[in-house]
A = this chain, B = another copy of it.
Amino acid sequence: MGPEGPGPLFMTLFRGLSAFPITPADAQGQVNTLALRSLLDRLVEADVDSIGLLGSTGSYAYLSRFERRRAVDAAIDQVAGRLPVMVGIGALRTDDAIAFGQDARDAGADALLLAPMSYIPLTDDEVFEHFKAVARATDLPLCIYDNPAATHFSFKPSLVGRLAQIPTIVALKSPAPGADAVIRHLEESRAVTYPGFSSGYSVDRHAMEAMLGGGDAWYSVLGGLFPEPCMQILRAVHAGEAAQARLLNARLEPLWSLFTEFSSLRVVYAAASLLGLCKGMPPRPILPLPDEARQRIGEALDLLGLV
């Protein structure tokens, strides 16, 4: 965190629902800031706890430095301090991740999210030094982004423990394993970090169980487009109504199935275009889903009253 210490918005950073919108862009990778602003309005209106800009679903890995900066500038302007904004800054090169982090800081981001993108598989020491270099050069609260399906690197508790000793590294975003495994994962994270260090979860289908088990944050793809059903679940969790939370989560099963079948990114791109919010073109080589899949997504959204 900066020399002034954490501001008031820090209270909901890495806590509750962190909503991850897509970053609408054209075929050349130019960000459609108007469409992005509309998506952000939905999140501000729903009063989510924070925004995760340029996450994996926000296709950060496919955007140039210039376009990432355009997206951050538009987001900071649109959100206007009403919610904390965390920005994904992952890159294959350490110097690029530093540059993206400094850009985000200079643009007014509240926090950074760093995934260890890899091509040549990385060792624990390499990832440690990478995070240390970025943390030192950026000086914003930083969340460790564990997403092995995309980065091809898995954080062991021992590495999380080492990283948590770096003053600005204050949170961990892990993919939630199934309901039976998430509590043990959370205990492992707690065991290697200090009280107040945030352990949060992605993978929407399973995140609810993690929150019931005491997880700090739900990093949500669905919440980036449809925040309300996620907020309902979280309200039940926070009220201690586990049965109600599970019921609400089970209602979303048609969407969770589609997420598993096609990937959450492809499904939310299709959903955003069905809502008329953007053209729904993920960055090539990723293709828009075929009509038959789009129709099934439309039916699921309709069933849930989301369109």
* Chain A interface residues toward B at CB < 8 A: 27-29, 56, 59, 61-62, 92-95, 116-117, 119-123, 125-127, 129-130, 133, 149-152, 263, 265, 282-287
Contacts and interface: CB of A to CB of B under 8 A. Distances in A.
Contacts of A61: 92, 119-120
- 4 A-B pairs with the lowest CB-CB distances in the bound complex, closest first: A130-B285, A61-B119, A94-B284, A126-B285
15 contacts: A28-B95, A56-B120, A61-B120, A62-B92, A62-B119, A94-B285, A120-B286, A121-B149, A121-B263, A122-B285, A125-B287, A126-B285, A126-B286, A127-B285, A130-B284
Contacts of A117: 119
Given A94-B284, A119-B150, A121-B150, 17 more contacts: A56-B120, A61-B120, A62-B119, A92-B283, A93-B283, A93-B284, A94-B285, A95-B284, A116-B285, A120-B282, A122-B285, A123-B287, A126-B285, A126-B287, A130-B285, A133-B284, A152-B152
A283 B130 CA distance: 11
A12 to B, nearest CB: 28
Of A62, A125, A285, A287, the most chain B CB neighbours within 10 A belong to A285
Contacts of A120: 56, 59, 61, 150, 263, 265, 282, 286
B27 A95 contact: yes
Per assembly, the copies of the chain total 2
A59 B129 CA distance: 19
A67 to B, nearest CB: 11
Contact of A29 (B62, B95, B265): B95
A96 to B, nearest CB: 9
A129 B94 contact: no
Contacts of A56: 119-120
A95 B149 CA distance: 23
A80 B138 CA distance: 45
A120 B121 CA distance: 16
A126 B62 CA distance: 15
Contacts of A127: 285
A180 to B, nearest CB: 25
A129 B93 CA distance: 27
A302 to B, nearest CB: 26
A200 B149 CA distance: 28
Of A92, A149, A282, the most chain B CB neighbours within 10 A belong to A92
